[in-house]
Amino acid sequence: MKREIFVSYSENYKRIIFQVWYANGRPNIPDLRTLIPKDTNDRIPSVQIIKIWKRDDGWEAQADELDTKAIVLSDDFLIRQKSEMLIRHAGMAVEMQDYGLKHIKEFGFDSSSAAVNAMVRGAELERTSRGIGEMIVKMSKMTDEQLKDEILKRVQQASESGQMVLDAEEVTEDDLEE
């Protein structure tokens, strides 16, 4: 007579198995079994048990959701990093301007154009850095619809002013739905 033995695992242990699976790039179940820790009873679940958990607990959907969150966090981090860099550049630009102005006040307009150049380049760098930094922060807070409207507005302005717009083509609503 064949006896069946039913083994239960805690929800916490099942969650740990999911985390190991996800953290290791979603390996196949036999490979996953080599990575998972034993439970409190010194057991490792069978391939079949893990497959059932994966299916019934929706591991793929959970992992896709985590991937999406990771991408958003990564994008936010990159935006903050870029914005902070531009703010630092703006600060350096002010220092360049201050240095140039101090030199001109101290020595007048001598034959050295370095001071004037420092002021001019510093002003250009500050204007660019502050403008781009503020734009990145502003755009990171926009919805998709607001971003689309902003892009269309800027392309229209560039076109009206005679500036060249490279690699742009009109997209209809039907194109967006496809």
End-to-end, the C-alpha distance of the chain in Å comes to: 61
**Which pLDDT tens digit goes with each residue over 9-52?**
999 999 999 999 999 999 999 999 999 999 999 999 999 999 99
Domain boundaries, the chain: 11-57, 74-141
Q: 71-103: string of b/e by CB count within 10 Å (b at 16+)?
A: eeeeeeeeeeeebeebeebbeebbebbeebeeb
Query: Would you tell me the crossing angle of helices 114-140 and 59-107 to the nearest 10 degrees?
Result: 160
Of 99 and 25, the structure prediction assigns the larger pLDDT to 25
> Residue 173 has what pLDDT?
65
Mean residue pLDDT of the chain comes to 80
Q: Which range is least confidently modeled, 15-19, 75-79, 113-117?
A: 113-117
pLDDT confidence bin for 5, thresholds 50/70/90: low
35 secondary structure, DSSP code: T
Q: What is this structure's pTM?
A: 0.51
Six-digit token pair at 119? 């002021």
User: Averaged over 57-81, what is the pLDDT?
Assistant: 91
